[in-house]
Amino acid sequence: MAKLTKKDTEKIQHLAQLELTSEEIDKFTPQLSAIVDLMNELNEVDTKDVKPTAKTSGQINIMRADEINALRCLPQDKPFEVPQILHINENN
């Protein structure tokens, strides 16, 4: 069982750039010790036959090509207008 001291908690406080009161340090020291104990339990799990993985679901991200079909998005019974973007210069 890991037994963190008040000094250990103060070092964690410094590294995490936290401002804790003396009461909070006293409160968090046993809680941090319990967390370290849980982590030590995980270290005891035999993982030698477990392959390293980044995903556990087995799902593969399949990308499809973007297809734009403006007619499908527009009402079919009404014409629509768009602003003019090309201007004809009548002086040329």
Residue 74 corresponds to which tokens in the numbers above? 């527009």
pLDDT (0 to 100) of residue 17: 96
pLDDT (0 to 100) of residue 84: 84
pLDDT (0 to 100) of residue 87: 78
pLDDT (0 to 100) of residue 41: 92
**Helical (H) or strand (E) element with 27:** helix 22-43
Residue 68 corresponds to which tokens in the numbers above? 């734009």
pLDDT (0 to 100) of residue 34: 94
pLDDT (0 to 100) of residue 69: 75
pLDDT (0 to 100) of residue 62: 78
Long-range CB pairs of 65-71 (<8 Å, 24+ gap) are none
With contact defined as beta carbons under 8 Å apart, do 21 and 41 qualify? no
Counting as low any pLDDT under 50, the low residues of the chain are none
pLDDT (0 to 100) of residue 33: 94
pLDDT (0 to 100) of residue 90: 67
